[in-house]
Amino acid sequence: MPVRNRIMPIQQRLNEPLANSQAASAPSANIDESLKPLFPGRTFISNVLEVVDSKNTMTGKMTGKYLQRAIMAGILVATFFTAFFSIVGQFSAAPTNPGLILVGRVIGAFTFGWALVLIYYTNSELLTSNMMVITIGSYHRKISWLDSLRILTLCLLGNLIGVLIVATILRFSTIISGSTLTQMLAAASTKTGYVLNGWSGVTDLLVRAIFCNFCINIAMLMVYNGKLTNDFTKCTIMVVAVFVFSFCGFEHSIADSALFLILGLHGLVNVRLAIAVVFVAMLGNFIGGGILIGLNFATMNDERRYSASPKNVDATLTSTQ
């Protein structure tokens, strides 16, 4: 059989789930255009559902390729988070000028913000932004909750592998030393301190994680909503979002994993406390990205119940006048 004839059935099988799901549940295919002002997030939801289709196809039939994308995201997060601590450490090494510490945090947070930009433009897979995407896809029944769990699990696995790769490489260098190591140890102590402080500390950690992923996914919402056609604006929004959570000390589960794995390979981490911190941060990240952004905007822009009858459309328009 010619090679071309063998390739075509594979392409058809990969494209079938995407084509079928788009035809079955496009959120606005049968909606009166007069409702468009009432549901300004129509483009956002449509774009997210297309992304969900591709993730579902890749994790189901191209698992290795998907893991590679998730690994790259982990590598980027770990690398730029290390750069953050290195920058802060260098500026903190001058105790005679305390103002330099603030400058270091600003520059470090700005630098770390570019990790999200690179993840987006390299089509890498980050767990925290997937929380929003998967929640919207599940709400609109593009994918089952079991498929959602598979996507998130594979993404988490890939992110952790990527982080571990960076941590292992760093173990054989002197990068994690001096002021950089000092800043990392201080950050790890603060994070584990939340857990050691009991419920009040855990709640503090949870709230910080909620705000962290709220920042990330409000930026991704702006990127997906179709209103931004300028790459510079997209980059600015993503950098600012990460800058806010980084500068304010919000908690990102994958970044925290990077910190603990880097220090862990140096024998400087309490494993149980580190796992507890990452678990709470992950829960908070899901609330901030999956619930406050994902579920909130999915329900806010759900047009389906207005498509069944023209009377519903008329009643809706009348009530808004």
Q: What is the 3-state secondary structure (H, E, C) of 3-31?
A: HHHHHHHHHHHHHHHHHHHHHHHCCCCCC
Cα–Cα distance, 183 to 258 (Å, whole number) = 14
CA–chain centroid gap for 142, Å, is 20
Q: Is the dihedral of CA 261, 191, 273, 133 positive or negative?
A: negative
| Average confidence score pLDDT of the chain | 87
pLDDT in tens, 88-97: 999 987 766 7
Domains of the chain (ranges, CATH numbers): 41-300 (1.20.1080.10)
Q: Among residues 84, 86, 75, 175, which one has the least CA distance to residue 126? A: 75
Cα–Cα distance, 85 to 105 (Å, whole number) = 9
Cα–Cα distance, 277 to 125 (Å, whole number) = 22
Buried b (16+ CB within 10 A) or exposed e, 44-79: bbbebbbbbbebbbbbeeeeeebbebbbbbbbbbbb
Lowest mean pLDDT among 117-131, 266-280, 306-320: 306-320
Amino acid, res. 315? A
pLDDT at site 171: 96
Structure pTM? Answer: 0.84
pLDDT in tens, 7-55: 444 445 444 444 444 444 445 444 556 666 566 677 889 899 999 999 9
Lowest mean pLDDT among 11-20, 47-56, 119-128, 210-219: 11-20
Amino acid, res. 238? M
Amino acid, res. 38? L
Buried b (16+ CB within 10 A) or exposed e, 228-246: eeeeeebbebbbebbbbbb
pLDDT at site 6: 45
pLDDT at site 226: 83
74 and 163 in contact (C-beta within 8 Å)? yes
Tell me the H-state helices in the chain.
3-25, 42-61, 63-92, 99-121, 127-139, 145-171, 178-196, 199-224, 231-248, 253-264, 271-285, 296-300, 310-320
pLDDT at site 201: 97
114 and 104 in contact (C-beta within 8 Å)? no
